[in-house]
């Protein structure tokens, strides 16, 4: 490596719930659960730290959350609002680095490599970021700093909430050895139980395995991965600027839904969320993806490419809806998702000009109009599509 890299991972603490507590001061200090409801089947999207003390966590069935925290306040997901706050926080973060990589609505990596002389020591930058987020937005964030994104990510988790942890270059192996297996990023529950079956219950056990042994048990790729993470070496999960990626959004329903009008309204809403993120992240895509999970948990993802880039929510929704009409037989749905795949830099997409300029112009007009709306929204003015619809109490996550 030519020079010492420094990455900072910023993770907003209990973001959805914190925004709710911010907007509704009477909820501060109380257990707040976002997503799902006390009655239905929904799933917890996020919860405040007060709720976590009762053992509630995200992705937990709402009924279970209700059982554990009977007095908690259940709130519907207001993704538009979270995205709005998120966009403003991301704008602040981008002041500290030319390369900000947003992972989700509440999480981002800052590449601080080479910024020391300009902005000071990474730990000072981390403190300043935390202070600014708190002063400007009333929210707390956990910050992790390390030589790789992998280490920075685990460092931000280390002292959560409101934490700041710095892993000095060269100290990665010791840092990882001090963690629990459950804290190792990228290690799923299934892999963990397979490790436990082999008697590997601590990071130090994993660290003691030879790479050949791990490859023998888990295969070439996964074996190498385990070997690397046990040493604090970035296995390459967050490798640099990817050439293409996808942006998607999905929602799990409170109750199974089979009403096509509601499904379509929700789809429009999801499309708009995805387009907003695409607008913020830049890039263009020609491939629309639709994800359907039926009541029996069978899940299918279908995709279709169109000749020209998807330039506006209208175009996106139109294609997604066509997929829905073709692939959905009307059976009750549990989850609906949609996304743009192969999001690439604008230059890399082949352009097909139009024969008639008026059709081209109307598509271009829609695109510009939408960008103008998104810009207004960033400025705090909330304009929404009239068709947009959100049923109380269904949960979503981007």
Partner 1 sequence: MMKFTCERDVLIKEISVAQEIISSRNVLSILSNVMLEAAENTLRIRATDLKVGFETRIPVEVAQEGSSTVFCDKLLGILRSLPEGEVEFETSENDVFSIRPVFRKIDFQLKSISSEKFPEIQQAQSDSFFEFSQAAIIEMIRQTAFAVSDDETRYFMNGVYMENVDGHLVMVATDGRRLSYIRSEEDSELPDFPGVIVPPKVLGLVRKLASGEGTVRISITPKAVFFHFDNQKLSSSLIEGQFPNYQRVIPESQQYTATVDRNELSEALRRVSLLVEKSRRIYMKIADGSIGISSEQSEIGVAHEELSCAYDGPETLMALNYVYLSEPLKVIENDQVEIQFSEATKAITLYSVPRASYFHIIMPMQLD
If one asks whether residue 331 binds partner 1 (CB under 8 A), the answer comes out as: no
Please, are residues 281 and 343 in contact by the beta-carbon 8 Å criterion? Answer: yes
> Binding to partner 1 by residue 350, rule CB under 8 A?
yes
- Active-site residue flag, 107: yes
- Who contacts 65 (Cβ-Cβ below 8 Å, separation ≥6)? 33, 36, 44, 47, 51, 56, 72
| Stretch of residues binding partner 1 (CB under 8 A), selected from 26-34, 46-54, 122-130, 311-319 | 311-319
Which position among 50, 107, 250, 272 bears the catalytic label?
107
For the segment 354-393, give every residue that binds partner 1 (CB under 8 A): 354-356, 358-360
Cα distances (Å, whole numbers) of residue 177 to 172, 192, 212: 9, 16, 20
| 318 forms part of the interface with partner 1 (CB under 8 A) | yes
Binding mask 124-163 for partner 1 (x = CB under 8 A): ----------------------------------------
Express the helix, strand and coil content of the chain in percent, nearest 5 each.
45, 20, 35
272-291: contacts with partner 1 (CB under 8 A): 286-287
Tell the residue number behind the tokens 């330039």, with chain if given: 311
Out of 26, 98, 307, 383, the only residue in the binding site for partner 1 (CB under 8 A) is 307
Verify binding: residue 239, partner 1, rule CB under 8 A. Answer: no
Question: What is the C-alpha separation between 166 and 325, in angstroms, rounded?
Answer: 51
For residues 214 and 333, which CB has a smaller minimum distance to partner 1 in the complex?
A: 333
Both tokens assigned to 22: 């911010």
Q: Where are the alpha helices (DSSP H) in the chain?
A: 15-23, 49-52, 62-68, 79-93, 116-119, 122-137, 149-158, 172-177, 189-197, 203-208, 211-218, 220-229, 260-281, 313-327, 357-378
CB closer to partner 1, 17 vs 292:
292
Chain residues 189-208 in contact with partner 1, contact rule CB under 8 A = none
Which residues of the shown chain bind partner 1 in the complex (CB under 8 A)? 286-287, 305, 307, 314-315, 318, 322, 325, 330, 342, 349-356, 358-360
| Catalytic machinery residues | 107
């Amino acid at each position: 490596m030519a020079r010492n890299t420094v990455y900072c991972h910023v993770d907003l603490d209990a973001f959805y719930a914190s925004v709710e507590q911010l907007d509704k001061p009477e909820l501060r200090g109380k257990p707040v659960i976002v997503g799902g409801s006390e009655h239905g089947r929904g799933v917890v999207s996020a919860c405040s730290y007060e709720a976590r003390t009762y053992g509630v966590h995200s992705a937990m069935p709402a009924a279970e959350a209700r059982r554990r925290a009977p007095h908690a306040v259940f709130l519907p997901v207001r993704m538009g609002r979270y995205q709005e706050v998120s966009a403003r926080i991301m704008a602040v973060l981008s002041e500290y680095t030319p390369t900000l990589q947003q992972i989700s609505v509440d999480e981002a990596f800052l590449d601080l490599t080479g910024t020391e002389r300009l902005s000071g020591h990474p730990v000072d930058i981390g403190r300043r970021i935390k202070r600014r987020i708190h002063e400007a937005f009333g929210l707390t964030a956990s910050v992790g700093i390390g030589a790789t994104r992998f280490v920075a990510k685990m460092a931000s988790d280390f002292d959560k909430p409101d934490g700041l942890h710095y892993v000095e270059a060269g100290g990665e192996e010791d840092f990882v050895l001090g963690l629990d297996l459950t804290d190792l990023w990228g290690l799923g529950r299934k892999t963990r139980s397979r490790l436990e079956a082999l008697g590997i219950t601590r990071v130090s056990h994993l660290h003691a395995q030879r790479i050949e042994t791990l490859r023998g048990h888990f295969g070439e790729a996964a074996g190498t991965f385990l070997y690397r993470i046990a040493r604090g070496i970035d296995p390459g999960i967050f490798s640099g600027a990817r050439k293409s990626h996808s942006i998607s959004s999905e929602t799990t329903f409170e109750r199974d839904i089979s009403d096509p009008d509601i499904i379509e309204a929700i789809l429009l809403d999801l499309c708009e969320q995805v387009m907003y993120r695409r607008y913020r992240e830049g890039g263009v895509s020609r491939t629309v993806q639709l994800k359907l999970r039926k009541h029996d948990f069978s899940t299918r993802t279908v995709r279709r490419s169109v000749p020209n880039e998807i330039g506006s929510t209208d175009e996106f929704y139109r294609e997604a809806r066509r997929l829905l009409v073709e692939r959905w037989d009307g059976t009750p749905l549990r989850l609906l998702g949609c996304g743009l795949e192969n999001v690439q830099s604008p230059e890399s997409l082949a352009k097909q000009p139009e024969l008639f300029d008026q059709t081209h112009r109307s598509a271009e007009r829609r695109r510009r109009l939408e960008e103008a709306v998104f810009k207004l929204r960033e400025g705090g003015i909330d304009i929404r599509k009239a068709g947009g619809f959100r049923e109380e109490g269904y949960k979503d996550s981007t």
